[in-house]
Structure 1
């Protein structure tokens, strides 16, 4: 690998570690379990674009996220992504 590729890989790994921590430390236990377990299973394979999506989703308040997960509220189009649908499918198996 080149020096730039090494740095890019190191940056992505740091983002993955931060995102995994944030996924497990949200505030509501239900959100921790959904996002934390998803992160543990899938974050290692996420590329930069998917990490961007995941980090954006981590900014959503727990209450909104859980309402979208349960269908209590419709998922806003900006968040109705393949990543969100993967997380919801994983959560339905818990």
Structure 2
């Protein structure tokens, strides 16, 4: 049972960093630091969005529209950190 909790904790950790990378990459694309017409950038961006969109879409339905600001990654990161704290309390 402990190994399953550890595995779930590692999965949460990986999802956390995938979301951080997706947010930073979207900022770099928005500020024209990365060019989205580059095949490698486009493939990485597509993969990150395919991985994160199933987690972010339900959160976006509940958040109000703030124009160009998307707070769903922040809400998801806070939820993941809360879940990780719960797992760490149970593992220790």
Structure 2-normalised TM-score? 0.34
Work out which of the two has the higher radius of gyration on C-alpha atoms and give 1 or 2: 2
Structure 1-normalised TM-score? 0.34
